[in-house]
Amino acid sequence: MAEEGHISFLPYEEALALVGAIQEEEDIYRANARILTVYSKDDRELCWFDFAEVMADVGSVPKEEIKAAVQNYILHRIPDWARDV
């Protein structure tokens, strides 16, 4: 069991098997903000990430590598509770 306030992440391989899509979307709660919503292979919403925070963490990468870098970043950070969604 995880400590309170501590997030445990799925192993990369499990996240890869679970995640079907990562969509950039408008944040309906914050004007002029974007989120990255993570969907399962059967189209259930699993979790979301703040677009600006992810891009800052990913850092400067060549344009042709941005999509792969963002996917890799997110797949390493899928919370373990997402398997139960």
Pairwise CA distance, residues 60 & 70, whole Å: 11
Q: Which of 49, 56, 57, 52 is nearest to 15 (CA)?
A: 49
Q: What confidence tens digit (pLDDT) does each residue in 20-52 have? A: 999 999 999 999 999 999 999 999 999 999 999
Residue 6 has a pLDDT of 84
pTM over 0.75: yes
Pairwise CA distance, residues 56 & 39, whole Å: 22
Residue 3 has a pLDDT of 59
Residue 1 scores a pLDDT above 70? no
Q: 84 and 44 in contact (C-beta within 8 Å)?
A: no
Q: 2 and 80 in contact (C-beta within 8 Å)?
A: yes
Measured CA to CA in angstroms, residue 3 lies from 6, 7, 8 at distances of 5, 8, 9
Rounded to an integer, the average pLDDT of 71-84 is 96
